[in-house]
Structure 1
Amino acid sequence: METQKSSEEVFKGNFLHAFRDRVVLPDGSEATREYVVHPGAVMVIPLLQDAQGAWRVVLERQYRYPVGQVMIEFPAGKLDAGESVFSCAQRELQEETGFSATEWARAGLMHPVIAYSTEFIDIWFARGLTAGAQQLDAGEFLDVFTATPEELLQWCLQGKVTDAKTLAGALWLQNTLAGNWDLQWQSAQSLA
């Protein structure tokens, strides 16, 4: 364990809040830790089933400025102050893709960048999808499309999908569809 000795705010923006702390290490020596405080986020793995019972996943293509590329991702977004993770999952799915879901299952939690951020991402599956209109945030531009789970996994293998949360989601999807990991599906009404 490390014990905080002092903390200094380095940057406070509209979204990110950065700190530089001095800590005491287990051997008594001191070190500096710089990190970003993040409000947390959700990611949704939306499942569409065709008439033959085959699954497709809803994905997005979105340009990400920090890496200068268009990325393939599952729908995701940050928590608003006081918002539950389930409400955020419903909101982000609808705003970004236009879909709403009748059934939801919480898969788990991930910490995508533990070396320098407090960010966590709550992972949800959604099914029983109904199409609707997107309600993108101002300045948000993305394309929504579907793919088979096999296509998504192939893109992960080929390095076409490099987003950490989507890679983790693909692992969850693969194990869930194979029957290795169980999900506890619930109606949207029972979770609200």
Structure 2
Amino acid sequence: MSDDHLIEHRVNQEELLRGRFLHAFRDTVRLPNQNLATREYVVHPGAVMVIPMLDTPDGLRLVMERQFRYPVGLVMTEFPAGKLDPGEDPWLCAQRELLEETGYTARQWARAGVLHPVIAYSTEVIEIWFAKDLSLGERQLDTDEFLDVFTASPAELMAACQQGLLTDAKTLTGLLWLQNVQSGQWPLHWQTLCTPTP
């Protein structure tokens, strides 16, 4: 089945902003009915999110973060995540971000899939990675990075979602993946890390 009746075609592009992190454009597009419209959007370098699974005597705990997110003016609960450096392999990025932000390294990794968090106005794609067989070391935060690390059970996080206390889109998607992995509906293909973590 063809999607031609839905596709928009760019006829002009105007650069609005070239920042250190984001690149914004306003495009003129031709709609399927041949009318013209404008689309403003941000080009994003891509990112990874890690779902770190910590086995404890009390059962599965997940390594989480709390940090202030300036655009929404709130301290948010999130899975560890970070943007890709130019040309960086997403798996290496996942290892780097987990270590830098939480101090954990993982021997077992599984790529779950991707999510598009803000399709209306950004090109951002986030790769979802699961990590287990964790070891705790020293965090390597940037000098201008401030966040708390804690652990929570899946049940605690699901309760926070239900109560509206956990609203980060990528973390909600990660919990959906976790639910389906735990139920056996969405199997993962685990890889053992054989090289040193960056």
TM tier, shorter chain? Answer: over 0.9
Q: What SS is found at the alignment partner of 1:159?
A: coil
TM-score normalised to structure 2 length: 0.94
Residue type of the alignment partner of 2:98: L
Residue type of the alignment partner of 1:165: K
- Is residue 66 from structure 1 mapped to residue 71 from structure 2 by the alignment? yes
Q: 1: CA distance between counterparts of 2:143 and 2:29? A: 40
- Is residue 42 from structure 1 mapped to residue 48 from structure 2 by the alignment? yes
User: Which residue of structure 1 lines up, in the alignment, with residue 3 of structure 2?
Assistant: none
101, 123, 132: which one pairs with 2:128? 123
Name stretches of at least 5 consecutive residues in structure 1 with no aligned partner.
none
Identity of paired residues, percent? 63
State the shift of 1:41 in Å.
Answer: 0.1
79, 85, 90: which one pairs with 2:84? 79
Q: What SS is found at the alignment partner of 1:150?
A: helix
Structure 1 segments, 4+ long, off by >6 Å, are none
- Is residue 158 from structure 1 mapped to residue 163 from structure 2 by the alignment? yes
Q: What SS is found at the alignment partner of 2:194?
A: helix
Higher mean Cα deviation, 181-190 or 163-172? 181-190
Q: What SS is found at the alignment partner of 2:123?
A: coil
User: Which residue of structure 2 lines up, in the alignment, with residue 33 of structure 1?
Assistant: 39
Residue type of the alignment partner of 2:22: L
Structure 1 segment 85-124 matched on structure 2, within 5 A = 85-124=90-129
Structure 1 segment 136-155 matched on structure 2, within 5 A = 136-155=141-160
TM-score normalised to structure 1 length: 0.96
State the shift of 1:13 in Å.
Answer: 0.7
9, 13, 23: which one pairs with 1:7? 13
Q: 2: CA distance between counterparts of 1:50 and 1:142? A: 23
Q: 2: CA distance between counterparts of 1:181 and 1:56? A: 19
Name stretches of at least 5 consecutive residues in structure 2 with no aligned partner.
1-6
- Is residue 177 from structure 1 mapped to residue 182 from structure 2 by the alignment? yes
State the shift of 1:189 in Å.
Answer: 2.2
Q: 1: CA distance between counterparts of 2:165 and 2:186? A: 25
The number of equivalent residue pairs is 190
- Aligned-pair RMSD on alpha carbons? 1.1
State the shift of 1:174 in Å.
Answer: 1.1
